[in-house]
Structure 1
Amino acid sequence: MNLQQRIVLLNRLGEYILEGSDNWQTAKEKASLQNAWFTPEFIDLATRNIAEAFLQKDKLMAWARQYNLPGETPAPKNVGIIMAGNIPLVGFHDFLCVFITGHRQTIKPSSKDDILIKHLVQQLYEWDETTRQLVTFSEMLKGCDAYIATGSNNSARYFDYYFSKYPHIIRRNRTSVALLTGQETPGELDKLADDVYQYFGLGCRNVTKLYVPENYDFVPLINAFKKYDYLGDMHKYRNNYDYMLAVLILNKQYYMSNQSILLAESKELFSPISQLNYEFYKNASEVEASLAGNADVQCIVGKNHLAFGQAQQPALTDYADGVDVMKFLREL
């Protein structure tokens, strides 16, 4: 299968997602039943972003030209991919990178998110049987030429050990932050709510901490966040909210809330589900310097950084952990 054929197939996959056939609707319903964090709303959000940002023919062709991908891949390697399952189809970009470069891949999907990726690959099988030679699934990854593995900091240590002899990309826990000036418009705060709440804050691109100037007025922010108050009706999220609220009260720690999220002052970048950490600053440049090169930070949202509302809308070249997967694959 040459590059042009692969691009045509991927573009067709994007059209399939957006068309919303009965088979696709059924697959999304099964995924939502399998994992309660995968609400229909957030499955639709993730898959629509993939179709519109990743699977457009012109974008795929420009991406391929950027890396001088050849029409034919003369010596394809077999790349093992261990996918995470924190948000719907979080491992799709790795699949896409390997597929468009013409390498073979063996995927170990997360047990929390295996329905959607298998369904989409099955569509590729049906449209072109050659795809079966390029994409397979397995619960054990052995004998691959290279590996891409995403997991927690703990699992990453095992990945480093097991895959040390092979070319590899190992990803660990990451999160995102927002640097506020206090001059944000209501519209910007509304979009910041998306960066915080979408996918219940489970993604590495979710904002889990705010840096705010001294004497910051939280009222406009809390009011803007009320657009997601309905998430408080989701029992798994509510359980986390009630638990974290109890912890804050028992520890006699000051907090603010709008009934769907808890704001607590903390130095920590990572925050539990339903909680958003914040920290006051005097000098924004010092904050930026402290975040520069921080291995735990995926995105910085704010003026002169990633635009509000864009954290969960990565482009093809927004690589997780800042590691250029296409360059890695081209050099195999």
Structure 2
Amino acid sequence: MSDAGDRAPAISVVICVYTEDRWEDILAAVASVRAQSRPALETLLVVDHNQPLLDRLGTEYEECAGEVRVLANAGPRGLSAGRNTGIAAARGEVVAFLDDDAVAERDWLARFAEAYADPRVMAVGGRTEPVWASGRRPAWFPEEFDWVVGCSYRGLPPGRVRVRNVLGGNASFRRAAFDAAGGFATGIGRDGDKRPLGCEETELCIRLGRARPDAVLLLDDRAVIHHRVPEARERFRYFRTRTYAEGLSKALVARSVGAAKGLESERRYTARVLPAGVARGLRDALLARPGGAGRAGAIVAGVLTAAGGYLVGSVRARRGAAAFSVPAVPAAPAVAVEEAGGG
């Protein structure tokens, strides 16, 4: 192994889970972590206020207690608090996050580990590929909006590059990042509500950049996971709901960190990537290629619904109706959470 590899830190993997409907997905996610070419120090399954699932997973991994630990979310319902529970309990110098309905390629953690040989690197994200339940991408669904289904999208830079923020379902952070900036904000992102909010990782990364101006955040498209997209999320109704919710979330982020930084990447995306996508869609329509007009229309609709959500969210923020809090994450990897096991 190279000297750089020898300096790479141990990595704990956190997978937040909430429903037994994803049982097979959860097992596949854990199996993909256990099959890594560079082994994880541990896998932490954090269960979001679901006692039957907590018990079932505790039984499932009872014989793997040193490798797979099953914990209850120690905070309020939601993804942010679940992640914070995992961070506090993790023993690794780096904490990686994997969605509960995704599987990681064999070198996923190895790619992350390579980057952390540089002590300036505080976060590393990877590429998330969609696995469509119907077997193929809907013809109308633009690649520029794959973030709607939790995946990497057209417009992200290729290779290993410096970025403003990583994407939460396929990301890792050095523990020192949480010591400097605190944990994921609660009151933003998924919280068990039916509205698919997000942006908690964006807010954290911007906050980290302010707390540690020397921090380097990277995106490495060789760190690949495959994320399942259920049929319900292949429909335009979900597309519209998710883009509107993204606008609401972006308003919260802008309130926290300021619009200049909170919308820096989004302005470039809207000014450059999306017009090119509309042009491609219209060209395909003129050439009678399937879905061209639909893709162009979806991009326009996505921009308008996201803008509508942002305006509504901004009004709510000014009225003080949309608040969130940033918890400190304990420096020591010991936290009072319920741990499932035998008996």
Q: State TM-score, norm by structure 1.
A: 0.26
Over alpha carbons, which structure has the higher Rg?
1
- Which of the pair has the greater relative contact order for Cα pairs under 8 Å at 6+ separation? 2
